[in-house]
């Protein structure tokens, strides 16, 4: 038997409606110059992150007389976005519902409303509802390419959190076609590529995003990708990598010297390594894999699941040759998750974690005979 610690992992949700709202410029007659100025001021305040200032400016615009319907809807929607960014979800929902209660909404307004409602659902962990909102937003008729790009990238992020990586990449591809100058689209696709072991594509997308002077959201995504991909080689038997912002350690494994890199979660509390059956099938084409028995894994929640054990002849952690390792696959169908590299199964490695510096040193232990020679020298 083996014990495996299991953590619920979720890709951070980074979705934005801001650029789409800024693209919505309401028509105001010359007599209504003051409300129009309030709206322009609010957009600048939103850009700078002064959400309370944006709320106040938009409230002044909405309090002015003789506003046409399209202007008031856009201002209400922008204020809802400002409330959302400020963290006042109740006020955001109130303004959003006020807009949605009106008849004759334009396609742009409807799509923007659905995007914002998706954000609110994502904030509450309602991924399926968020996906429904974004599907409706995509179907809304309009000619705003920026808004279409935002909607597709938002749906891509939602699909990532649902584990539908292929569909997410497809949405990011289309979002880039609508707005090739969006650093967020490339940064988000980098995340999706990394999740599907397309390491070089993830690096390329990250570099493109970095060349575009990315905003804070995009920069955080790019840094998370590059921090995981990049590692420091100390020597042939030692590498240094990083602990991510969630306290997790992801490493790259290969199963032949020139094989494809795969992403593994390094778990220092797990005694064995668990992989997806689809990965096991791929490994049989790269190295020798032999079934060696059955067993049970005990999860952190107290449950136990049957597994099949395999001996994989070749394994490389980055450039370090680990030799043969044992992996296991779940016998029962479970939700697809990260491949898990259990530190307990890596007897020839020493792992030193410096949490204060977010630094992980992984060193290959010398053979026992070398250790014995060193001891004799003293």
Residue 125 is part of a domain; what is its CATH number?
A: 1.25.40.10
The C-alpha atoms of residue 189 and residue 209 are separated, in whole angstroms, by 10
The C-alpha atoms of residue 92 and residue 289 are separated, in whole angstroms, by 55
What CATH number is attached to the domain comprising 357?
2.40.70.10
Which position has the token pair 């990598």? 241
Q: How far is CA 214 from CA 81, 222, 345, in A?
A: 21, 9, 40
Query: 317 φ, ψ to 5°?
Result: -100, 105
Please indicate, yes or no, if residue 263 is contained in any of the structural domains.
Answer: yes
Same domain, 151 and 263: no
Give residue 83's pLDDT: 94
SS3 11: coil
Same domain, 248 and 329: yes
> How many angstroms separate the most distant Cα atoms in the chain?
94
Same domain, 41 and 176: yes
SS3 193: helix
The C-alpha atoms of residue 83 and residue 101 are separated, in whole angstroms, by 19
Which position has the token pair 């954000």? 119
Q: How far is CA 378 from CA 368, 373, 374, 375, in A?
A: 16, 9, 7, 6
DSSP 78-102: HHHHHHHHHT-HHHHHHHHHHHHTS
Give residue 311's pLDDT: 94
Which position has the token pair 């136990």? 304
Give residue 333's pLDDT: 77
**In the listed set 180, 201, 222, which residue is the last one of a domain according to the structure?**
180
- Sorted by sequence, the CB contacts under 8 Å of residue 318 that are 6+ apart come out as 231, 233, 239, 251, 252
Would you give per-residue pLDDT tens digits along the chain (378 residues)? 333 333 333 344 444 554 445 444 443 333 345 667 777 787 888 888 888 998 988 888 888 754 556 778 888 888 998 999 899 999 999 999 999 998 889 999 999 999 999 999 998 999 999 999 999 999 999 999 999 999 999 999 999 989 899 999 999 999 999 999 999 999 999 999 999 889 899 999 999 999 998 988 899 999 999 988 888 989 888 999 999 888 899 999 999 888 888 999 998 888 889 998 889 999 999 999 999 999 888 766 677 889 999 999 999 998 888 889 999 999 887 766 678 998 877 888 899 999 899 999 999 887 764 455 445 544
Tally the domains of the chain.
Answer: 2
Give residue 303's pLDDT: 77
Same domain, 169 and 96: yes
Same domain, 322 and 176: no
Please indicate, yes or no, if residue 220 is contained in any of the structural domains.
Answer: no
Give residue 130's pLDDT: 95
| DSSP class of 245 | T
- Candidates 79, 18, 23; CA nearest to 216 is 18
Same domain, 358 and 256: yes
- Candidates 372, 273, 282; CA nearest to 324 is 273
Residues 316 and 341 sit within 8 Å (Cβ to Cβ) = no
Burial class of residue 330 in the structure, from the number of CB atoms within 10 Å of its CB (0-12 exposed, 13-18 middle, 19+ buried): middle
**In the listed set 180, 195, 221, which residue is the last one of a domain according to the structure?**
180
Q: Measured in Å, how far apart are the chain's first and last C-alpha atoms?
A: 40
Residues 169 and 189 sit within 8 Å (Cβ to Cβ) = yes
Q: Which domain holds residue 262?
A: 232-372
Same domain, 244 and 167: no
Same domain, 142 and 252: no
Q: HSE-up of 291 (CA within 13 Å, CB side)?
A: 9
Please indicate, yes or no, if residue 215 is contained in any of the structural domains.
Answer: no
Give residue 245's pLDDT: 85
The C-alpha atoms of residue 362 and residue 319 are separated, in whole angstroms, by 12
Q: Which helix (H) or strand (E) holds 61?
A: helix 51-63
Please indicate, yes or no, if residue 208 is contained in any of the structural domains.
Answer: no
pTM beyond 0.85? no
Same domain, 137 and 259: no
Same domain, 38 and 167: yes
């Amino acid at each position: 038997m083996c014990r495996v610690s299991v953590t619920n992992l979720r890709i951070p949700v980074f979705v934005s409606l801001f650029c789409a709202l800024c693209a919505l410029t309401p028509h105001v007659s010359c007599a209504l110059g003051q409300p129009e100025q309030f709206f322009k001021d609010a957009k600048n305040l939103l850009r700078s992150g002064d959400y309370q200032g944006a709320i106040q400016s938009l409230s002044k615009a909405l309090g002015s007389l003789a506003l046409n319907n399209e202007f008031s809807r856009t201002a209400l929607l922008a204020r809802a976005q400002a409330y959302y960014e400020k963290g006042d979800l109740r006020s955001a929902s109130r303004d959003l519902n006020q807009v949605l209660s009106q008849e004759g909404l334009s396609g742009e307004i409807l799509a923007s409303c659905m995007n914002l409602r998706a954000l609110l659902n994502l904030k509450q962990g309602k991924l399926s509802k968020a996906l429904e909102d974004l599907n409706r937003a995509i179907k809304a008729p309009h000619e705003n390419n920026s808004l279409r790009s935002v909607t597709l990238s938002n749906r891509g992020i939602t699909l990532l959190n649902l584990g539908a990586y292929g569909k997410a990449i497809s949405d990011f591809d289309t979002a880039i076609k609508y707005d090739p100058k969006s650093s967020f689209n490339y940064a988000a696709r980098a995340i999706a590529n990394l999740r599907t072991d397309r390491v070089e594509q993830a690096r390329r997308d990250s570099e493109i995003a970095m060349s575009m002077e990315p905003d804070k959201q995009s920069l955080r995504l790019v840094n998370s990708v590059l921090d995981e991909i990049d590692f420091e080689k100390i020597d042939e038997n030692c590498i240094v990598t990083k602990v991510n912002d969630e306290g997790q350690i992801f490493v790259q494994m290969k199963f032949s010297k020139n094989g494809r890199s795969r992403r593994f979660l390094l778990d220092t509390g797990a005694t064995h390594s668990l992989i997806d059956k689809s990965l096991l099938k791929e490994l049989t084409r790269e190295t020798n894999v032999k079934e060696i028995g059955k067993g049970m894994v005990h999860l952190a929640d107290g449950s136990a699941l049957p597994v099949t054990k395999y001996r994989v002849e070749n394994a490389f952690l980055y450039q370090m040759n680990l030799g043969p390792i044992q992996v296991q696959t779940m016998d029962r169908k479970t939700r697809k998750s990260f491949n898990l590299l259990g530190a307990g199964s890596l007897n020839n490695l020493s792992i030193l974690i410096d949490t204060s510096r977010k630094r992980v040193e992984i060193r290959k232990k010398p053979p026992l005979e070398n250790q014995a020679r060193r001891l004799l020298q003293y």
